[in-house]
Structure 1
């Protein structure tokens, strides 16, 4: 096993390439339950037939929990957008098509999106009044059971050398309302400073899914609130602006 080739470094994990395998090595203090849940999510998504790296094993390396999956040789959609700005609209079109393909799937074993968001809202530092309004709004939204990624953005799409797209990182996967997933993606574009991309994305998503833009926007304060739990200070300030801007019904 060769852990010399680092692919990515995150706050609580490091991703390595070992030949045709990809090793996601979590920090020693990372929750075992969260690691196993991520692996289980990925295994369940495999069964839907979506193009994703297959899980090979879950193991412990030097006292650190590790998820081993197939290594997909290629470039992320984010990198392709950066390298070929003239093709950004084309890549964005593919991005939306992949998300809609994912939303066409169901996976009964996944956590319910509404349950997760209710829990996250309860964990925020928002006032009791705002939390109550958000819980009420969430409860009023339609219940669906579509596969939702929870972190669907161009860095989590790899285009393999043969042109096949793969969706990565299923740690936040749930089953629920596709418009909540779209609201999350829209906010991710904003958080990345790509406001033009956010607007184009939302227009495309709503057009191709025949969804009213206002309906996706109704999810934004809920999604923004649920994200404040793990965001950094700058992100939390931005997300709070999305929560505050809404007139609650």
Structure 2
């Protein structure tokens, strides 16, 4: 396959993402595991089959000897951009954002990776934490209830597209799992808190009210998901995440 009129929209160490006509094309570096590419493709299809209205996977292919995913392009702006342009209506947008996340959590997809298994693997691989810290986190993780809800795994306003008609569409399902919705919410909270603590608190309050969940229950997940995020090795976020891992006294 060849790109016809590519526009680079995302660049990471392991991939480049292009808009090419009515398609989104993710091109992964040659050293990126082939299994990871096919796993993302498979997970995207499993989310489709769960009944969620998401951009469809069209093709798994190779471009310049690199593996690539071709996905339908959802026209519009990210919800993050909309929120920044219209801060006076943040509460309205946040309500829509939470409603969308709760719609995802209503779905199940039994073939998805279990979130608790993924988190345990990430924590076990961490070099930044000593054996005692890893043990305490793993004990806490094991004590948390096992659920089977679809969890996006990277649910933040930059992964929600607002169409011209106002319809919200969730994109980028690379990290989707099945598990506890409050763990998914804890990660969303931390992503907000990294940039805007006021928005983070608004999100958490709204999520807990709409889902009838105690804040303390979501907070119990903070150290676990913060530790798992260290695996991404982003130095800009490391100090922020370590502070949350150190907060082990949520009850």
Provide the C-alpha distance between the structure 2 equivalents of 1:229 and 1:4, rounded to a whole number of angstroms: 31
Match of 1:153 in 2: 156
Q: Say yes or no: does 1:71 pair with 2:66.
A: no
Query: Shift in Å at residue 248 of structure 1?
Result: 8.0
Provide the C-alpha distance between the structure 1 equivalents of 2:94 and 2:137, rounded to a whole number of angstroms: 31
Provide the C-alpha distance between the structure 1 equivalents of 2:97 and 2:13, rounded to a whole number of angstroms: 26
Q: Say whether the 8 Å CA contact 2:50–2:109 is kept in structure 1.
A: yes
Match of 1:136 in 2: 139
Match of 2:212 in 1: 210
Query: Shift in Å at residue 3 of structure 1?
Result: 4.4
Provide the C-alpha distance between the structure 1 equivalents of 2:225 and 2:5, rounded to a whole number of angstroms: 36
Match of 2:119 in 1: 117
Which runs of structure 1 show a deviation greater than 4 angstroms over 4 or more consecutive aligned residues? none
Provide the C-alpha distance between the structure 2 equivalents of 1:243 and 1:100, rounded to a whole number of angstroms: 26
Match of 2:230 in 1: 228
Q: Say yes or no: does 1:247 pair with 2:249.
A: yes
Provide the C-alpha distance between the structure 1 equivalents of 2:41 and 2:89, rounded to a whole number of angstroms: 34
5+ residue gaps, structure 1, are: none
Provide the C-alpha distance between the structure 1 equivalents of 2:158 and 2:4, rounded to a whole number of angstroms: 24
Provide the C-alpha distance between the structure 2 equivalents of 1:4 and 1:176, rounded to a whole number of angstroms: 36
Residues 8-157 of structure 1 correspond to what in structure 2 (within 5 A)? 8-125=10-127, 126-157=129-160
**Once structures 1 and 2 are overlaid, which stretch shifts more, 238-247 or 5-14?**
5-14
**Once structures 1 and 2 are overlaid, which stretch shifts more, 1-10 or 212-221?**
1-10
Provide the C-alpha distance between the structure 2 equivalents of 1:83 and 1:122, rounded to a whole number of angstroms: 41
Provide the C-alpha distance between the structure 1 equivalents of 2:71 and 2:92, rounded to a whole number of angstroms: 29
Q: Say whether the 8 Å CA contact 1:14–1:25 is kept in structure 2.
A: yes
Q: Deviations 1:29-80 (Å, cap 9, x if unpaired)? A: 2111111111111000011221210000000000111100111110100010
Q: In the comparison of the two structures, how many residue pairs are matched?
A: 248
Provide the C-alpha distance between the structure 2 equivalents of 1:134 and 1:16, rounded to a whole number of angstroms: 38
3-state SS, counterpart of residue 166 of structure 1: strand
Pick closer, same or farther for the CA change 1:134–1:248 going to 2, 3 Å: farther
3-state SS, counterpart of residue 220 of structure 2: helix
Q: Say whether the 8 Å CA contact 2:18–2:26 is kept in structure 1.
A: yes
Return the TM-score normalized by structure 2. Answer: 0.96
5+ residue gaps, structure 2, are: none
Q: Say whether the 8 Å CA contact 1:179–1:215 is kept in structure 2.
A: yes
TM-align CA RMSD: 1.3
Return the TM-score normalized by structure 1. Answer: 0.96
**Once structures 1 and 2 are overlaid, which stretch shifts more, 116-125 or 230-239?**
230-239
